[in-house]
Amino acid sequence: MQRRKFLALASVAAVSLGLAACDTEAAAPAGGGASAGGKPYIAIVSKGFQHQFWQSVKQGAEKAAKEFDVEISFEGPDKETNVQQQMDQLNNAMAKNPQALALAALDSKAAEGVLQDAKAKNIPVIAFDSGVDSDIPIATASTDNKAAAAEAAKHMAELLGNKGAIGIISHSQTATSGTDRRDGFVDYMKANAPDIKIVDVQYADGDQAKSTDAAKAMMTANPDLAGMYGTNEGAAIGIVNAVKEMSKTGKLVIVGFDSGKAQMDAIKDGLMAGAVTQNPVGIGYETVKAAVAAIKGEKVEKVIDTGFYWYDKTNIADPKIAANLYE
């Protein structure tokens, strides 16, 4: 009797376990994992954390995560030169088996292995900000960096009367955001202001101190320099610092890219003529929105243009502009 009772209980337990296993398998998300709370999990790896820009992107991503009821992680290397640190973060993110991966690559070639891994596991990849030089991402949420840089060049040319020698401090020659912001600016000048001569382009990793040193060296080598362009926040403020240290305040026209308190203050104080701002909150929001759509198998636009604006002393307080500035 006891033996029959034991066998009956064992059979019930086995059936229960089998049903539980089936339920777990049915609930497991295709191509990736879910959070402990059962929500879809999206891993986001940015290019850095050193600028307020990335904190604003994070805010937008968090806003979308709450709205679409998903879990996200958001991380980036300490500096935008730390390619290996970003690769470690990408590999750790993939080890968590996300349902989607979002990436702003520091080095597209270095990230290729991770992208191939995601493709093999049917994990959709969304690129953001600088994009990725690969066909694997199904969408890219970013500013049209070439068009935005051309806008900066247009204002620089107008301020200089379409003539003079200028220099560029760029934040990267490997990230597509860096190359596009350089090329968009250069191409505009060649096509529209041939009497403006770009005498030098230096790369300083978006680091203010390096950008300051690079700008000072460029000014020393080119005493007739009439203007300088910085391709991100660190580069632009580096130029401002160099101009102050070299006692050239008011003698050079400075235009930049991105915003942030330091650039906003420099523009208000007349140290910078103006800059192009992105929509970082929008970039983060659209990245998560696209990832959610991809997880659901919905169509996602290949290019998601998040927009840009030129701002200077005359419009910095305009509500439409102010909404895209960050401190």
- Is the pLDDT at 207 greater than 60? The verdict is yes
C-alpha of 261 from chain center:
18
Q: Give the mean pLDDT of 186-209.
A: 97
Q: Give the mean pLDDT of 155-180.
A: 95
- Please give the residue that has the higher pLDDT: either 252 or 38: 252
Domains of the chain, earliest start first: 41-143+280-307 (3.40.50.2300), 145-277 (3.40.50.2300)
| Predicted pLDDT at 80 | 86
Q: Give the mean pLDDT of 47-56.
A: 85
Residues paired with 132 in a beta bridge = none
Element (H, E) at 8: helix 2-27
Cα–Cα distance, 104 to 140 (Å, whole number)? 9
* Residue 34 pLDDT grade (very low, low, confident, very high; cuts 50, 70, 90): low
Write the DSSP string, 235-289.
HHHHHHHHHHHTT-TTTSEEEEES--HHHHHHHHTTSS-EEEE--HHHHHHHHHH
- Is the pLDDT at 11 greater than 90? The verdict is no
Cα–Cα distance, 244 to 242 (Å, whole number)? 5
- Each residue's pLDDT tens digit, 53-108: 898 899 999 999 999 999 999 999 998 889 999 999 999 999 999 999 999 999 98
- Each residue's pLDDT tens digit, 231-255: 999 999 999 999 999 999 999 999 9
Percent of the chain with pLDDT over 70: 88
**How high is the mean pLDDT of the chain?**
89
- Please give the residue that has the higher pLDDT: either 196 or 48: 196
- Each residue's pLDDT tens digit, 99-138: 999 999 999 899 999 999 999 999 999 999 877 888 999 9
| Predicted pLDDT at 260 | 85
Q: What three-state secondary structure class fits 179?
A: helix
- Is the pLDDT at 3 greater than 50? The verdict is no
Task: Decide: 117 and 94 in contact? Cβ < 8 Å.
Answer: yes
